[in-house]
Amino acid sequence: MDGLFTVTDLGPWITLGISLLIGLLIGAEREGANGTSKLGLRDVVLSAALGWMSARTAEPWLTVALIAAIMVILVTHRRDLPNRGVTTELAVLIVFGLSYAISGPTGGGMLPLAIALSIGITLLLDSKTAVKKFFHETLSEQEFADTVRFLALIFIIYPLLPEGRFGPYDFFAPRGLWLSVILVSGVSFVGYFLEKFIGGTIGTWLTALVGGLVSTTATTSAFAAQVKLDPSRMTAAWQAATLSNAVQFPRIFVLVSLVAPALASSFAIPAIAALVAGIVMAILIGMMRKNVSSPPVALENPLRLMPALKFAVYLAGVALISGIAYQMYGSGALYVTSAIGSLADVDAVTLNSADQFNRSLIDARMMNLLVFIAVLTNMIVKLGLALTEGNMAFMLRMAISFAVMLSAYLATILIF
């Protein structure tokens, strides 16, 4: 208390001003939101002043007494409004706590966090109607459940997994495998909700882009089925499937950059070249298409626990096969395992190859070639789907698109 009225000591005055501003910010929102509540702006600002005074005196008994008094006032206030929520009452207590936290001897480090928290709380309180509408009307029960599952993958399961590598050839890395699941599931999560909230208005191109984020194999098969049902949609489906598969390259680039940042620079040019080639191809196809809009592809929400576990098992299997092949035949065997592993999923091979790079088992050029082989093999699978789910004409057209993108990708690897 010695420096409280000393002009040269501005610390207490600064914290007092910030405390009152926090109370004013949250209190003003509560003043406009409350209908019949007796608590408002002045009550919240007074709570901020009490928190500041309690911290400055540094007397525990005074802090306890003030909190007890505030609690008694709030409980008494609740008796008159039994059917209302307790949002304003909680806001009063939060403002007291924030003011107390920033006004003590070590409160300087809390200032940015307290200011950010007060702004966030104000935004949350002010968006009551929008939040209720989103969770009650916009978001379905299944989507909410899948979102909770996705958060559980990150914040519950991942921290519980042990670090390090286990098993023969160190193929089993629990945290590394689960991080791969989180990355791939996160990309699919974003793609799903883009399709839900934006896809219906933008049309086939956005559907193709979202499909490229979720699953290029599923999207190619879906567009092939459209062609089989309605041959007049051939050009539109070809264009959309080409764009979807072009998106695959930046998606792979993002995954590689997150797992092996050192590869970002060497992997960027081939990925950009393939993407540009695919976009140019889609534009050229679009010049031939008629003004026919394709219905959106029905994509299921991929955030379910069983697919995530299957992906982890698959990735571990690829790692084990790669480890055995490398031990027996050297680095050249990785080309064969890359081709085999990509029959079902390119992301697994990509992430495993990036892990091999992190362990100094392969260099950047070999990493790019492994991804090229994986994409090539996976595209052969897609050509089979284009034929069986669509027809020969659609397969031949997709073969042209794949050849253009892969040629651009391979050329940049060889040149750069």
User: What digits encode the pLDDT tens for the residues 254-277?
Assistant: 888 888 888 777 778 888 999 999
Tokens 């298409």, residue located: 289
pLDDT-derived band at 294 (thresholds 50, 70, 90) equals: very low
Note the pLDDT of residue 306: 64
Burial of 342 (0-12, 13-18, 19+ CB in 10 A): buried
User: What digits encode the pLDDT tens for the residues 136-183?
Assistant: 667 777 787 788 878 888 888 888 889 888 888 777 888 878 876 776
Q: Give yes or no for a contact between 89 and 77, defined as CB atoms under 8 angstroms apart.
A: yes
Helix, strand or coil, per DSSP, at residue 81 = coil
The one-letter amino acid code at 46 reads: L
**Token pair in block for residue 18:** 């910030």
pLDDT-derived band at 325 (thresholds 50, 70, 90) equals: low
**Token pair in block for residue 39:** 């608590």
User: What digits encode the pLDDT tens for the residues 57-88?
Assistant: 877 888 788 888 877 777 776 666 655 667 77
**Token pair in block for residue 29:** 């929102």
DSSP state letters, 73-87 = HHHHHHHH-TTS-SH
Burial of 378 (0-12, 13-18, 19+ CB in 10 A): buried
CB atoms within 10 A of CB 242: 29
CA pair distance 377, 399, nearest whole angstrom: 12
Backbone angles phi, psi at 4, to 5 degrees: -65, -40
CA pair distance 157, 398, nearest whole angstrom: 40
The C-alpha angle with vertex 125 and arms to 120 and 129, in degrees rounded to 5, equals 125
Q: 80-94, 101-115, 290-304, 345-359: which has the highest mean pLDDT?
A: 345-359
Q: Calculate what percentage of the chain has a pLDDT beyond 70.
A: 74
CA pair distance 46, 49, nearest whole angstrom: 5
pTM of the predicted structure, to 2 decimals: 0.53
Helix, strand or coil, per DSSP, at residue 172 = strand
The better pLDDT of the pair 1, 215 is held by 215
Q: Which residues pair with 166 in a beta bridge?
A: 172
